[in-house]
Amino acid sequence: MQHLYQYVDGDRLREDITQTAKFGSVPVEDGNCRTVLTGTEANKRAREYFVKKLDERGLDVSIDAVGNIAGRWVPENADPTARSVATGSHLDSVVDGGQFDGVLGVYAGLEAIRAIQDASLSPDLPLEVVAFTEEEGGRFSDGVLGSSVAIGASNVADALATTDDTGVTLGEALEEIDFKGEERLDATAWDSWLELHVEQGTRLEETSVSAGIVTHITGTIRCHIDILGEADHAGTTSMESRVDALTAASELALEIESVTNEIVETHSETAVGTVGQFDVEPGSINVIPGSVHLGIDIRDIEYESMERIVSSIRRCLARLEDERAVETTFSRPYDIDPISMSDRCIATLHSAATQAGINTIELHSGAGHDTMHIAKVTDAGLVFAPSEGGYSHSAAEWTDWSDCTTSTRLLAGALYDLATE
Protein backbone atom coordinates (compact mmCIF):
# COMPACT_ATOMS: atom_id res chain seq x y z
CA MET A 1 0.00 0.00 0.00
CA GLN A 2 3.02 2.27 -0.58
CA HIS A 3 1.01 4.20 -3.13
CA LEU A 4 -1.53 5.38 -0.46
CA TYR A 5 0.83 8.24 0.39
CA GLN A 6 0.54 9.60 -3.12
CA TYR A 7 -3.21 9.92 -2.73
CA VAL A 8 -2.94 12.25 0.26
CA ASP A 9 -3.75 15.52 -1.47
CA GLY A 10 -2.14 18.55 0.18
CA ASP A 11 -4.13 21.01 -1.93
CA ARG A 12 -7.44 19.47 -0.89
CA LEU A 13 -6.39 19.59 2.78
CA ARG A 14 -5.20 23.18 2.43
CA GLU A 15 -8.52 24.15 0.83
CA ASP A 16 -10.45 22.72 3.80
CA ILE A 17 -8.23 24.51 6.35
CA THR A 18 -8.28 27.87 4.57
CA GLN A 19 -12.06 27.70 4.01
CA THR A 20 -12.55 26.91 7.71
CA ALA A 21 -10.26 29.81 8.63
CA LYS A 22 -12.83 32.19 7.13
CA PHE A 23 -15.47 31.29 9.70
CA GLY A 24 -15.06 33.62 12.69
CA SER A 25 -12.09 35.30 11.04
CA VAL A 26 -10.68 38.23 13.02
CA PRO A 27 -8.31 40.54 11.16
CA VAL A 28 -5.41 41.60 13.39
CA GLU A 29 -2.31 43.67 12.80
CA ASP A 30 -0.09 40.82 11.64
CA GLY A 31 -2.60 38.57 9.84
CA ASN A 32 -5.82 36.82 10.72
CA CYS A 33 -7.05 35.04 13.81
CA ARG A 34 -10.22 33.03 14.19
CA THR A 35 -12.66 33.16 17.08
CA VAL A 36 -14.90 30.11 16.92
CA LEU A 37 -16.62 29.62 20.27
CA THR A 38 -19.03 26.69 20.65
CA GLY A 39 -22.58 27.46 19.55
CA THR A 40 -21.80 30.70 17.73
CA GLU A 41 -22.57 31.51 14.09
CA ALA A 42 -18.90 30.93 13.23
CA ASN A 43 -19.02 27.50 14.90
CA LYS A 44 -22.22 26.68 13.01
CA ARG A 45 -20.61 27.50 9.69
CA ALA A 46 -17.45 25.50 10.50
CA ARG A 47 -19.62 22.52 11.47
CA GLU A 48 -21.82 22.80 8.37
CA TYR A 49 -18.77 22.90 6.12
CA PHE A 50 -17.42 19.74 7.79
CA VAL A 51 -20.74 17.90 7.44
CA LYS A 52 -20.87 18.88 3.77
CA LYS A 53 -17.36 17.49 3.26
CA LEU A 54 -18.33 14.23 5.03
CA ASP A 55 -21.44 13.96 2.84
CA GLU A 56 -19.39 14.47 -0.33
CA ARG A 57 -17.44 11.29 0.49
CA GLY A 58 -20.49 9.24 1.46
CA LEU A 59 -19.60 9.05 5.14
CA ASP A 60 -22.46 8.29 7.54
CA VAL A 61 -22.82 11.48 9.59
CA SER A 62 -24.03 11.48 13.18
CA ILE A 63 -24.36 14.38 15.63
CA ASP A 64 -24.56 13.38 19.27
CA ALA A 65 -26.37 15.07 22.16
CA VAL A 66 -23.45 17.38 22.98
CA GLY A 67 -22.78 18.24 19.34
CA ASN A 68 -19.86 15.88 18.69
CA ILE A 69 -19.84 15.23 14.92
CA ALA A 70 -18.71 11.86 13.53
CA GLY A 71 -18.46 10.67 9.93
CA ARG A 72 -18.19 6.89 9.58
CA TRP A 73 -17.02 5.04 6.50
CA VAL A 74 -17.48 1.31 6.14
CA PRO A 75 -15.06 0.04 3.48
CA GLU A 76 -16.36 -2.47 0.98
CA ASN A 77 -14.72 -5.47 2.65
CA ALA A 78 -15.32 -4.35 6.25
CA ASP A 79 -17.84 -5.68 8.72
CA PRO A 80 -20.22 -2.73 9.39
CA THR A 81 -20.72 -3.91 12.98
CA ALA A 82 -16.99 -4.00 13.73
CA ARG A 83 -15.25 -1.52 16.05
CA SER A 84 -14.03 1.56 14.18
CA VAL A 85 -10.58 3.02 13.95
CA ALA A 86 -11.25 6.66 14.77
CA THR A 87 -9.42 9.93 14.22
CA GLY A 88 -10.16 13.64 14.46
CA SER A 89 -9.78 16.68 16.66
CA HIS A 90 -11.88 19.85 17.15
CA LEU A 91 -13.23 22.84 15.20
CA ASP A 92 -13.69 25.34 18.04
CA SER A 93 -10.95 27.85 18.85
CA VAL A 94 -9.89 30.14 21.65
CA VAL A 95 -10.63 33.85 21.24
CA ASP A 96 -8.25 35.14 18.55
CA GLY A 97 -6.94 31.63 17.94
CA GLY A 98 -5.04 30.26 14.96
CA GLN A 99 -6.21 28.37 11.90
CA PHE A 100 -4.42 25.02 12.47
CA ASP A 101 -5.20 24.20 16.12
CA GLY A 102 -7.81 21.42 15.95
CA VAL A 103 -8.77 22.11 12.34
CA LEU A 104 -5.66 20.35 10.99
CA GLY A 105 -6.54 17.18 12.90
CA VAL A 106 -10.16 17.14 11.73
CA TYR A 107 -9.34 17.62 8.04
CA ALA A 108 -6.18 15.48 8.11
CA GLY A 109 -8.46 12.70 9.40
CA LEU A 110 -10.94 13.28 6.60
CA GLU A 111 -8.13 13.57 4.04
CA ALA A 112 -6.70 10.24 5.25
CA ILE A 113 -10.05 8.57 4.60
CA ARG A 114 -10.37 10.29 1.21
CA ALA A 115 -6.87 9.07 0.29
CA ILE A 116 -7.69 5.49 1.32
CA GLN A 117 -10.86 5.69 -0.76
CA ASP A 118 -9.04 7.22 -3.75
CA ALA A 119 -6.33 4.59 -3.53
CA SER A 120 -9.11 2.01 -3.80
CA LEU A 121 -7.95 0.40 -0.58
CA SER A 122 -10.44 -1.44 1.59
CA PRO A 123 -9.30 -1.86 5.21
CA ASP A 124 -10.99 -4.46 7.41
CA LEU A 125 -12.44 -2.07 9.96
CA PRO A 126 -14.70 0.96 9.58
CA LEU A 127 -12.98 4.35 9.81
CA GLU A 128 -14.45 7.29 11.62
CA VAL A 129 -13.49 11.00 11.68
CA VAL A 130 -14.67 13.08 14.59
CA ALA A 131 -14.93 16.77 15.52
CA PHE A 132 -15.33 17.08 19.28
CA THR A 133 -17.34 19.88 20.88
CA GLU A 134 -15.71 22.56 23.10
CA GLU A 135 -12.14 21.30 23.21
CA GLU A 136 -10.75 24.74 24.03
CA GLY A 137 -13.13 25.56 26.84
CA GLY A 138 -13.51 29.03 25.36
CA ARG A 139 -17.17 29.39 26.28
CA PHE A 140 -18.66 26.60 28.38
CA SER A 141 -16.05 24.64 30.28
CA ASP A 142 -12.42 24.09 31.24
CA GLY A 143 -12.07 22.33 27.88
CA VAL A 144 -12.09 18.84 26.30
CA LEU A 145 -15.84 18.65 27.02
CA GLY A 146 -16.98 16.62 24.01
CA SER A 147 -14.35 13.92 24.46
CA SER A 148 -15.08 13.79 28.18
CA VAL A 149 -18.70 12.92 27.36
CA ALA A 150 -17.60 10.45 24.66
CA ILE A 151 -15.62 8.40 27.21
CA GLY A 152 -18.39 8.62 29.82
CA ALA A 153 -16.35 10.73 32.25
CA SER A 154 -19.01 13.47 32.06
CA ASN A 155 -22.68 12.75 31.59
CA VAL A 156 -24.73 14.34 28.85
CA ALA A 157 -27.20 16.16 31.11
CA ASP A 158 -24.44 17.84 33.15
CA ALA A 159 -22.58 18.85 30.01
CA LEU A 160 -25.71 20.34 28.42
CA ALA A 161 -26.50 22.29 31.59
CA THR A 162 -23.08 23.99 31.61
CA THR A 163 -23.53 27.74 31.17
CA ASP A 164 -21.47 30.46 29.58
CA ASP A 165 -20.80 33.83 31.26
CA THR A 166 -24.25 35.11 30.30
CA GLY A 167 -26.19 32.10 31.62
CA VAL A 168 -26.83 30.44 28.23
CA THR A 169 -26.54 26.64 28.51
CA LEU A 170 -24.55 24.47 26.13
CA GLY A 171 -27.85 22.74 25.24
CA GLU A 172 -29.46 26.04 24.28
CA ALA A 173 -26.42 27.15 22.30
CA LEU A 174 -26.31 23.86 20.35
CA GLU A 175 -30.05 24.07 19.60
CA GLU A 176 -29.57 27.62 18.41
CA ILE A 177 -27.10 26.45 15.74
CA ASP A 178 -29.08 23.26 15.04
CA PHE A 179 -26.29 20.94 16.20
CA LYS A 180 -27.87 19.31 19.22
CA GLY A 181 -28.27 15.70 18.11
CA GLU A 182 -29.22 12.44 19.76
CA GLU A 183 -27.50 9.84 21.92
CA ARG A 184 -23.83 9.86 22.82
CA LEU A 185 -20.80 9.28 20.67
CA ASP A 186 -19.17 6.26 22.38
CA ALA A 187 -15.37 6.23 22.27
CA THR A 188 -15.25 2.99 24.26
CA ALA A 189 -16.58 1.23 21.13
CA TRP A 190 -13.54 2.23 19.09
CA ASP A 191 -10.77 -0.21 18.19
CA SER A 192 -8.25 2.60 18.38
CA TRP A 193 -7.78 6.35 17.95
CA LEU A 194 -5.21 8.66 16.38
CA GLU A 195 -5.14 12.45 16.52
CA LEU A 196 -2.95 14.79 14.49
CA HIS A 197 -2.42 18.16 16.14
CA VAL A 198 -0.03 21.10 15.84
CA GLU A 199 2.82 20.84 18.33
CA GLN A 200 2.48 24.34 19.84
CA GLY A 201 6.15 24.01 20.73
CA THR A 202 9.46 24.11 18.87
CA ARG A 203 10.97 20.64 19.24
CA LEU A 204 9.98 19.52 15.73
CA GLU A 205 11.21 22.78 14.23
CA GLU A 206 14.50 22.45 16.11
CA THR A 207 15.04 18.90 14.81
CA SER A 208 13.73 19.68 11.29
CA VAL A 209 11.24 16.82 11.11
CA SER A 210 7.72 17.04 9.71
CA ALA A 211 6.03 14.83 12.28
CA GLY A 212 6.45 13.88 15.93
CA ILE A 213 5.16 10.74 17.62
CA VAL A 214 3.87 11.58 21.08
CA THR A 215 4.68 9.09 23.83
CA HIS A 216 3.05 10.81 26.82
CA ILE A 217 0.69 13.65 27.50
CA THR A 218 1.68 15.55 30.63
CA GLY A 219 -0.59 15.71 33.61
CA THR A 220 -1.71 19.11 34.86
CA ILE A 221 -2.21 20.39 38.38
CA ARG A 222 -3.61 23.86 38.82
CA CYS A 223 -3.40 25.69 42.12
CA HIS A 224 -5.15 28.87 43.15
CA ILE A 225 -3.56 30.88 45.91
CA ASP A 226 -4.47 34.09 47.69
CA ILE A 227 -1.80 35.99 49.56
CA LEU A 228 -3.32 38.49 51.95
CA GLY A 229 -1.29 41.36 53.33
CA GLU A 230 -2.42 44.82 54.42
CA ALA A 231 -3.30 47.52 51.90
CA ASP A 232 -1.72 50.67 53.27
CA HIS A 233 -0.54 54.11 52.23
CA ALA A 234 2.73 53.74 50.32
CA GLY A 235 4.07 56.99 51.79
CA THR A 236 3.06 56.83 55.43
CA THR A 237 3.68 53.16 56.20
CA SER A 238 7.27 52.49 57.17
CA MET A 239 9.13 49.57 55.58
CA GLU A 240 9.17 47.84 58.94
CA SER A 241 5.43 48.01 59.60
CA ARG A 242 4.10 47.02 56.18
CA VAL A 243 2.66 43.61 55.21
CA ASP A 244 3.15 43.72 51.46
CA ALA A 245 1.24 41.00 49.58
CA LEU A 246 3.12 41.68 46.35
CA THR A 247 6.65 41.09 47.58
CA ALA A 248 5.45 37.91 49.33
CA ALA A 249 3.82 36.74 46.08
CA SER A 250 6.99 37.62 44.17
CA GLU A 251 8.97 35.28 46.43
CA LEU A 252 6.49 32.51 45.66
CA ALA A 253 6.70 33.08 41.89
CA LEU A 254 10.50 32.88 42.03
CA GLU A 255 10.38 29.80 44.27
CA ILE A 256 8.15 28.00 41.76
CA GLU A 257 10.51 28.89 38.92
CA SER A 258 13.54 27.84 40.92
CA VAL A 259 12.21 24.49 42.16
CA THR A 260 10.92 23.61 38.69
CA ASN A 261 14.28 24.40 37.13
CA GLU A 262 15.91 22.18 39.75
CA ILE A 263 13.53 19.30 38.93
CA VAL A 264 14.23 19.77 35.21
CA GLU A 265 17.96 19.51 35.88
CA THR A 266 17.90 16.59 38.27
CA HIS A 267 14.74 14.51 37.84
CA SER A 268 12.45 15.17 34.90
CA GLU A 269 13.33 17.44 32.02
CA THR A 270 9.68 17.69 30.95
CA ALA A 271 8.48 19.47 34.10
CA VAL A 272 7.09 23.01 33.79
CA GLY A 273 5.67 25.36 36.40
CA THR A 274 4.04 28.67 35.50
CA VAL A 275 2.44 31.52 37.38
CA GLY A 276 0.14 32.85 34.65
CA GLN A 277 -2.39 34.68 36.80
CA PHE A 278 -1.18 37.31 39.24
CA ASP A 279 -3.89 39.78 40.19
CA VAL A 280 -2.79 42.55 42.54
CA GLU A 281 -5.30 44.51 44.64
CA PRO A 282 -5.87 47.42 44.88
CA GLY A 283 -3.22 47.98 42.19
CA SER A 284 -2.70 51.72 42.79
CA ILE A 285 0.79 53.19 42.54
CA ASN A 286 0.53 54.79 45.99
CA VAL A 287 -0.99 51.87 47.90
CA ILE A 288 0.90 48.88 49.29
CA PRO A 289 -0.72 45.79 47.70
CA GLY A 290 -3.20 44.19 50.10
CA SER A 291 -3.71 40.96 48.21
CA VAL A 292 -2.45 38.94 45.27
CA HIS A 293 -4.32 36.09 43.63
CA LEU A 294 -2.04 33.61 41.86
CA GLY A 295 -3.13 30.99 39.36
CA ILE A 296 -0.43 28.34 38.91
CA ASP A 297 -0.15 25.68 36.22
CA ILE A 298 2.12 22.67 36.80
CA ARG A 299 2.73 19.92 34.25
CA ASP A 300 4.90 16.89 33.75
CA ILE A 301 4.77 13.38 32.37
CA GLU A 302 5.64 12.18 35.90
CA TYR A 303 3.04 12.81 38.55
CA GLU A 304 5.69 12.71 41.25
CA SER A 305 7.55 15.76 40.01
CA MET A 306 4.29 17.73 39.85
CA GLU A 307 3.69 16.77 43.47
CA ARG A 308 7.20 17.95 44.35
CA ILE A 309 6.41 21.38 42.96
CA VAL A 310 3.12 21.50 44.88
CA SER A 311 4.93 20.54 48.09
CA SER A 312 7.47 23.29 47.59
CA ILE A 313 4.63 25.78 47.07
CA ARG A 314 3.05 24.73 50.36
CA ARG A 315 6.35 25.00 52.19
CA CYS A 316 6.93 28.42 50.68
CA LEU A 317 3.46 29.59 51.79
CA ALA A 318 4.15 28.43 55.34
CA ARG A 319 7.44 30.28 55.33
CA LEU A 320 5.82 33.47 53.95
CA GLU A 321 3.17 33.34 56.69
CA ASP A 322 5.93 32.97 59.23
CA GLU A 323 8.42 35.50 57.89
CA ARG A 324 6.15 38.10 56.32
CA ALA A 325 2.98 37.87 58.46
CA VAL A 326 0.79 37.41 55.39
CA GLU A 327 -2.18 35.08 55.39
CA THR A 328 -2.52 32.60 52.55
CA THR A 329 -5.15 30.33 51.06
CA PHE A 330 -4.49 27.33 48.83
CA SER A 331 -6.79 25.33 46.57
CA ARG A 332 -6.11 22.71 43.94
CA PRO A 333 -9.26 22.37 41.84
CA TYR A 334 -7.76 20.79 38.72
CA ASP A 335 -5.73 17.63 38.78
CA ILE A 336 -5.18 15.48 35.70
CA ASP A 337 -2.86 12.49 35.64
CA PRO A 338 -0.18 12.19 32.97
CA ILE A 339 -1.13 9.53 30.41
CA SER A 340 0.90 7.35 28.04
CA MET A 341 -0.01 6.68 24.43
CA SER A 342 -0.60 3.01 23.65
CA ASP A 343 2.39 0.91 22.57
CA ARG A 344 0.34 -0.45 19.68
CA CYS A 345 -0.40 3.01 18.30
CA ILE A 346 3.18 4.22 18.82
CA ALA A 347 4.53 1.11 17.04
CA THR A 348 2.05 1.50 14.19
CA LEU A 349 3.01 5.16 13.74
CA HIS A 350 6.73 4.28 13.66
CA SER A 351 6.09 1.55 11.14
CA ALA A 352 4.00 3.82 8.92
CA ALA A 353 6.68 6.52 9.12
CA THR A 354 9.32 4.05 8.00
CA GLN A 355 7.17 2.82 5.12
CA ALA A 356 6.51 6.38 3.97
CA GLY A 357 10.10 7.50 4.46
CA ILE A 358 9.06 10.19 6.93
CA ASN A 359 11.60 11.26 9.58
CA THR A 360 10.07 11.53 13.03
CA ILE A 361 11.09 12.08 16.61
CA GLU A 362 9.39 10.92 19.79
CA LEU A 363 8.30 13.67 22.14
CA HIS A 364 5.80 14.40 24.87
CA SER A 365 2.83 16.70 24.75
CA GLY A 366 2.78 19.52 27.25
CA ALA A 367 -0.75 20.49 26.26
CA GLY A 368 -3.89 18.53 26.98
CA HIS A 369 -5.84 17.30 23.95
CA ASP A 370 -8.99 15.24 23.37
CA THR A 371 -6.62 12.27 23.05
CA MET A 372 -5.87 12.66 26.78
CA HIS A 373 -9.43 11.45 27.41
CA ILE A 374 -9.67 8.88 24.61
CA ALA A 375 -6.47 7.16 25.78
CA LYS A 376 -8.28 6.15 28.95
CA VAL A 377 -10.75 3.91 27.09
CA THR A 378 -9.00 2.62 23.98
CA ASP A 379 -5.60 2.39 22.28
CA ALA A 380 -4.67 5.93 21.41
CA GLY A 381 -1.91 7.76 19.62
CA LEU A 382 -1.08 11.40 19.00
CA VAL A 383 0.94 12.87 16.15
CA PHE A 384 2.34 16.39 16.10
CA ALA A 385 2.95 18.62 13.09
CA PRO A 386 5.53 21.41 13.47
CA SER A 387 4.44 24.84 14.72
CA GLU A 388 6.53 27.63 13.22
CA GLY A 389 8.28 29.33 16.15
CA GLY A 390 6.12 27.28 18.49
CA TYR A 391 3.37 29.91 18.30
CA SER A 392 -0.25 28.93 18.84
CA HIS A 393 -3.51 30.53 19.99
CA SER A 394 -2.63 33.64 18.00
CA ALA A 395 -2.30 35.02 14.48
CA ALA A 396 1.31 33.78 14.51
CA GLU A 397 0.18 30.12 14.56
CA TRP A 398 1.53 28.55 11.38
CA THR A 399 2.39 25.10 10.02
CA ASP A 400 4.01 24.81 6.60
CA TRP A 401 1.60 23.30 4.09
CA SER A 402 4.21 20.69 3.19
CA ASP A 403 4.41 19.65 6.86
CA CYS A 404 0.60 19.45 6.96
CA THR A 405 0.71 17.08 3.99
CA THR A 406 3.59 14.96 5.33
CA SER A 407 2.06 14.52 8.78
CA THR A 408 -1.29 13.68 7.17
CA ARG A 409 0.46 10.98 5.11
CA LEU A 410 1.78 9.50 8.35
CA LEU A 411 -1.71 9.64 9.84
CA ALA A 412 -3.27 7.99 6.77
CA GLY A 413 -0.74 5.16 6.73
CA ALA A 414 -1.14 4.46 10.44
CA LEU A 415 -4.95 4.57 10.30
CA TYR A 416 -4.90 2.16 7.39
CA ASP A 417 -2.54 -0.16 9.25
CA LEU A 418 -4.65 -0.08 12.43
CA ALA A 419 -7.77 -0.89 10.40
CA THR A 420 -6.14 -3.67 8.44
CA GLU A 421 -5.70 -6.99 10.18
Contact of 229 with 244, CB cutoff 8 Å: yes
Contact of 201 with 385, CB cutoff 8 Å: no
**SS3 state at 125:** coil
Instruction: Tell me how far apart the alpha carbons of residues 69 and 111 are, in angstroms, rounded to a whole number.
Output: 16
Choose between 294 and 410: whose C-beta lies nearer to its own copies: 294
- 3-state secondary structure string across 41-96: HHHHHHHHHHHHHHHHCCCEEEECCCCCEEEEECCCCCCCCCCCEEEEEECCCCCC
Choose between 157 and 239: whose C-beta lies nearer to its own copies: 239
Return the residue of 181, 289, 381, 386 that touches its own copies, per CB under 8 A.
289
Choose between 21 and 271: whose C-beta lies nearer to its own copies: 271
Return the residue of 32, 62, 215, 277 that touches its own copies, per CB under 8 A.
277
- Taking CB under 8 A as the rule, does residue 361 contact its own copies? no
Query: Cβ 277 to its own copies, closest distance in Å?
Result: 5
Return the residue of 366, 381, 386, 413 that touches its own copies, per CB under 8 A.
366
- Taking CB under 8 A as the rule, does residue 208 contact its own copies? no
- Choose one: 13-21, 199-207, 314-322, 343-351; the region binding its own copies (CB under 8 A): 199-207
Strand bridging mode 69-73 / 60-63: antiparallel
Query: Cβ 52 to its own copies, closest distance in Å?
Result: 32
Return the residue of 240, 266, 322, 421 that touches its own copies, per CB under 8 A.
240
**How many other C-beta atoms are found inside a 10 Å radius of the C-beta of residue 152?**
15
Query: Cβ 280 to its own copies, closest distance in Å?
Result: 5
Binning the chain into helix, strand and coil, the percentages to the nearest 5 are 40, 25, 35
Instruction: Tell me how far apart the alpha carbons of residues 70 and 86 are, in angstroms, rounded to a whole number.
Output: 9
Choose between 240 and 322: whose C-beta lies nearer to its own copies: 240
The backbone torsions φ and ψ at residue 281, rounded to the nearest 5 degrees and listed phi first, read -120, 140
Return the residue of 106, 173, 243, 246 that touches its own copies, per CB under 8 A.
246
- Taking CB under 8 A as the rule, does residue 323 contact its own copies? no
Query: Cβ 42 to its own copies, closest distance in Å?
Result: 21
Instruction: Tell me how far apart the alpha carbons of residues 216 and 365 are, in angstroms, rounded to a whole number.
Output: 6
387: Cβ–Cβ under 8 A, 6 or more apart, which residues? 100, 198, 199, 200, 201, 202, 204, 205, 397, 398, 399
- Taking CB under 8 A as the rule, does residue 222 contact its own copies? yes
Strand bridging mode 85-90 / 192-198: parallel
- Taking CB under 8 A as the rule, does residue 215 contact its own copies? no
- Choose one: 14-22, 148-156, 160-168, 282-290; the region binding its own copies (CB under 8 A): 282-290
Residues of this chain that interact with its own copies (CB under 8 A) are: 199-202, 218, 220, 222, 231-241, 244, 246-247, 249-251, 253-254, 257, 260-261, 264, 269-280, 283-289, 295-297, 299, 365-368, 390-394
